[in-house]
Amino acid sequence: MSPTEHTVKSFEAELQRLSNLIAQMGGVVEAQVEAAVQAVGRRDVEGATKVMQGDTRLDEFERQIEHDAIRMLALRAPVGVDLREVLAALKISADLERTGDYAANIAKRSIALAQLPVMRPAGTIPRMGRLVQEMLKDVLDAYIDRDVEKAVAAWHRDEELDDLYTSLFREVLTYMMEDPRNITPCTHLLFIAKNLERAGDHATNIAETVHFLVKGQPLTAERPKSDKSSFTIIEPVDSEG
């Protein structure tokens, strides 16, 4: 084997290792999101605590990926698709780490929720959770297979998630108005839903990164409309004002 071949081989091995780390980290994030959403539904304080503790593992993954990627940039000076590979790993690991933070925050809030009465709008949380999990799985598969079509399809599903969030937002507000005792649990529900909506944004970012990685240019289609709830005004039914 010539020295050049050796260098090439081993750069490919390094890229493969980086890719594997992302895939592994992605698997952990998927599991964290699933466990966090389950902890909400099952009022499972123990499960929630595990999710919160599991978050440090994701920080370690991110640090490892950053370390390896920066080392590769410095020592290998990759260009073209190789450069995009390393940059994509950096970006995706940041999005995954952030998604893990949202899972940990959901778990944290589920502990407060478990001490409070069950709220009807909570039924939308598992639906949002499933959608986020599917989006995450699809963008990670798209990354592993370098499959742009799959990435773009997942990217479009963010709109479904935003619609679920917007309808939950309206429902929660109405519910809060019915009884002041609903306000604290409903506020936690709102933020749990918001965390899932943001997790969807990060899956969308990953889809865009996969597009850039494979095609060498940004995804130019209009980004799915996000969070329509910011304009929402709900009035109490029996308002006198």
- Which residues lie near a second copy (CB under 8 A)? 63, 70, 73-74, 77, 79-80, 83, 87, 90, 94, 105, 108-109, 111-112, 115-117, 173, 176-177, 180-181, 183-184, 187-188, 190-191, 194, 218, 227, 230-236, 239, 241
Q: Which CB sits closer to a second copy, 145 or 218? A: 218
Q: Are the C-beta atoms of residues 93 and 62 closer than 8 Å to each other?
A: yes
Q: Which CB sits closer to a second copy, 98 or 137? A: 98
Kindly state the smallest distance separating residue 93's Cβ from a second copy, in Å. 12
Identify residue 178 by its one-letter amino acid code: E
Paired tokens of 84:
């995009």
Q: Which CB sits closer to a second copy, 5 or 238? A: 238
Identify residue 72 by its one-letter amino acid code: M
Kindly state the smallest distance separating residue 183's Cβ from a second copy, in Å. 5
Kindly state the smallest distance separating residue 68's Cβ from a second copy, in Å. 13
Identify residue 164 by its one-letter amino acid code: L
Q: Which CB sits closer to a second copy, 30 or 101? A: 101
Angstrom distance (rounded) from CA 185 to CA 128: 18
Kindly state the smallest distance separating residue 144's Cβ from a second copy, in Å. 23
Kindly state the smallest distance separating residue 22's Cβ from a second copy, in Å. 17
**Where are any strands of DSSP class E within 24-142?**
none
Angstrom distance (rounded) from CA 207 to CA 93: 13
How far, in Å, are 64, 165, 196 from residue 120 at the CA level? 42, 15, 18
Q: Which CB sits closer to a second copy, 138 or 190? A: 190
48 three-class SS: helix
Kindly state the smallest distance separating residue 120's Cβ from a second copy, in Å. 16
Angstrom distance (rounded) from CA 238 to CA 101: 39
Neighbours of 32 (CB within 10 A): 26
Q: Which CB sits closer to a second copy, 111 or 151? A: 111
How far, in Å, are 59, 117, 170 from residue 46 at the CA level? 21, 18, 31
